[in-house]
Amino acid sequence: MAQNFDVVVIGAGPGGYVAAIRSAQLGLKTACIEREFLGGVCLNVGCIPSKAMISATHFLHKAEHQAEEMGIHIKNISVDMKQLKKWKESVSGKMSGGVGQLLKGNGVTVFMGAAEFRSKTELTVKTANGTESLTAKNFIVATGSRPIEIPGFAFDEKGIMSSTGALALEEIPKNLVVIGGGYIGLEISGYLSKLGTKVTVVEASAAVLNGVVDPECAQVVARKLTKQGVTILTNAKAKGHKKSGSGYEVTVEVGGKEQTLKCDKILVTVGRKPNSDQSNLKAAGLAVDEKGFIKVDAQRRTNVPNIFAIGDIACQPMLAHKASHEGVMVAEIISGKNRVYDAKTVPAVVFTDPEIASAGMMESEARAKGYTDLKIGKFPFAANGRAVSLMETDGFVKMIADAKTNILLGIHIVGPEASNLISEAALAIEMGARIEDLALTIHPHPTLGETMMEAAEATLGHAIHIIQKPLGRSKDAHA
């Protein structure tokens, strides 16, 4: 006999578990189904474990390369990869366990198993103890995405890896070929390089992070990676591979000429695709677009009125925090609140060294939307006292504003703690702030956050801690 619920959420990632908790808070009888692990990809094999590895290797890098300059002498540094992996897994375990406690504490019924729709009001869950049948007034599909495979490079997660395999390494590879110079590829390249791996990045376009972040920000990261010993091949395509002893030979075409790269392992990071081939969506009558995303409206409602879709399965951007925002929104819509997705910006972060964070439009996007008269200013971290004391002075804060109104259109940061600084930028853009709003807000000293105030002053043409040429009104008022 079927169990009946007001809301059934499929998927317990950052979108799904948040939707389930908020639904329960609003008095709805709620169930959440998860086929692998609570917290989804993000907490278990994505965001959290990768940031744990990045944090550990950043600490190692500072100890190896900066401690001596500070007068701190550290001898015989070594890395126990198995212990590092164990620590990384403990971080993910704590977070995943916390999700379980939150779901239980809010009265959500959890089913561990694979869900399949039978109709628009019923589904089954195959659990370790058998098959359960659930009915609900409303369903929220939050089944996420998975890494894209490319022809000739099928994942075995041992020699040819996705990000999942790269985060499970027990030994440090001597040589690694990374196919794809997007944010996942560069994050993993960065921390493995710090562990001693010789990394070669193969990127099909003209630059790494192409179209993903502000080009000037990407250049700073590319230079730092190169200085760190990472080889970056652009306008390059991986054509195939073959086994060579215990490793591989990867054939790459660069500028029309083929070359061979020898490596121990291959990492493929060319993007992710929605899991729309799971959960038997056809049985519920759900419409899917040509890219595999479930079609949704501004409320994340599908073509079937009682079924919603959120997170990576629904639409770009495929970011955890966007999924969580949608999860709260959809739960409140189901409970009767009148809400739509109307965010002006979804901030994005790349956890490279230095970090990159963005909110709002890039210059090219602003011009494409008709903003021809812009004010653009930058303030370097090299002129910030806190950054100097941290010995992390690469990068800058860049602001883009409409010159007619001074309303901020985009803020892009490359530098230390960019991931934390970007929240102020997101709030400013969401509230329709002007450059003056940031410039006239007193920021505490000495902090990295001062760079936001100083970048605003630079965009207005009167920075204090850098020397600027007087800015005149022009089509391109760059500072």
Q: Which residue among 73, 325, 445, 462 is the active-site one?
A: 445
Q: Rounded distance, CA 248 to CA 231, Å? A: 17
Instruction: Return the number of other C-beta atoms located less than 10 Å from residue 427's C-beta.
Output: 13
Quote the Cα angle for 258-190-56, to 5°. 155
Residue with tokens 């366990």, as numbered in its chain: 97
Catalytic residue flag (residue 462) = no
What residue spans of 253-314 are helical by DSSP H? none
Q: Which two tokens stand for residue 280?
A: 């038997």
C-alpha distance from residue 181 to each of 174, 194, 222, 227 (Å): 20, 17, 10, 16
Q: Measured between alpha carbons, how far apart are the two ends of the chain, in Å?
A: 68
Q: Rounded distance, CA 140 to CA 145, Å? A: 15
Question: Within the chain, how many helices (H) and strands (E) appear?
Answer: 14, 22
Question: Tell me, what DSSP letter sits at residue 149?
Answer: P
Q: Rounded distance, CA 459 to CA 450, Å? A: 14
Q: Are 180 and 203 in contact (CB under 8 A)?
A: yes
For residue 447, the SS3 value is: coil
Task: Look up residue 3 and give its amino acid.
Answer: Q
Q: Which two tokens stand for residue 449?
A: 């956050």
Q: Rounded distance, CA 312 to CA 276, Å? A: 10
| CB proximity list for 208: less than 8 A, separation 6 or greater | 181, 182, 185, 186, 201, 218, 221, 222, 232, 234
Q: Are 416 and 448 in contact (CB under 8 A)?
A: yes
Q: Rounded distance, CA 428 to CA 360, Å? A: 10
User: Could you tell me how far CA 5 lies from the centroid of its own chain?
Assistant: 33
- Residues marked active site are found at 445
